[in-house]
Amino acid sequence: MKASVFIGISVDGFIARPDGALDFLPADGGEPHGFNEFYKSVDALVIGRKTYEVVLAFGGWFYGKKPVFVLSSKPLPPAPPKAIVEHMSGDPADIVKRLEARGIRHIYVDGGVTVQSFLRAGLIQRLIITRVPVLIGQGIPLFGELLRDVHLRAVTTRQYKSGLVQTEYRVLAAAPRSKRRKD
């Protein structure tokens, strides 16, 4: 299964403010920057509970008829009418196996903790990161602690009129951390 991330961040690496607010992101994405094309390529979404709750607060359902798998160990708030939402729990490898068994071939992974756990498990193949030209100083980071270095290869970088800079990376094999010499 292919797992991809498509996400906007501040230049200092935050996906949201400490309270989860996304007000630093441009409204409606600022300008077309490939999200719609990307979204058409995925079969389903895998998001965390906090991301699900943020999306619910927007007041509309933006995922259409694509299945959305929400990872949480607790019950979820009700889904909007006509939304295809399923509650799941388990480690990322188990989630991927269960989705593969359903014939899902490409997932969109979203949400800080969810992205971090799938990346730590070595299950992300593609990262599309759009940097918004703003420093917010604090917030929810896209990346967290890793058990080993994760090597990336930049596939393409695009700059947009609004100032957005988007880089697509292919995730290469993770490598053990080298021991640093203490002087």
Q: CA-to-CA distance for 29 and 26, rounded, in angstroms?
A: 5
pLDDT of the residue at 176 = 56
pLDDT digits (tens, 9 = 90+) for 27-39: 766 677 889 999 9
Q: CA-to-CA distance for 17 and 13, rounded, in angstroms?
A: 11
Per-domain boundaries in the chain: 43-111
Given a contact cutoff of 8 angstroms between Cβ atoms, the answer to whether 94 and 67 are in contact is no
Q: What is the CATH architecture assignment of 43-111?
A: 3-Layer(aba) Sandwich (3.40)
pTM here is: 0.90
pLDDT digits (tens, 9 = 90+) for 66-100: 999 999 999 999 999 999 999 999 999 999 999 99
Give phi and psi for 62, each to the nearest 5: -95, -5
Question: Looking at this protein, which amino acid is placed at residue 151?
Answer: H
Q: DSSP character for 144?
A: -
| 179: pLDDT strictly greater than 80 | no
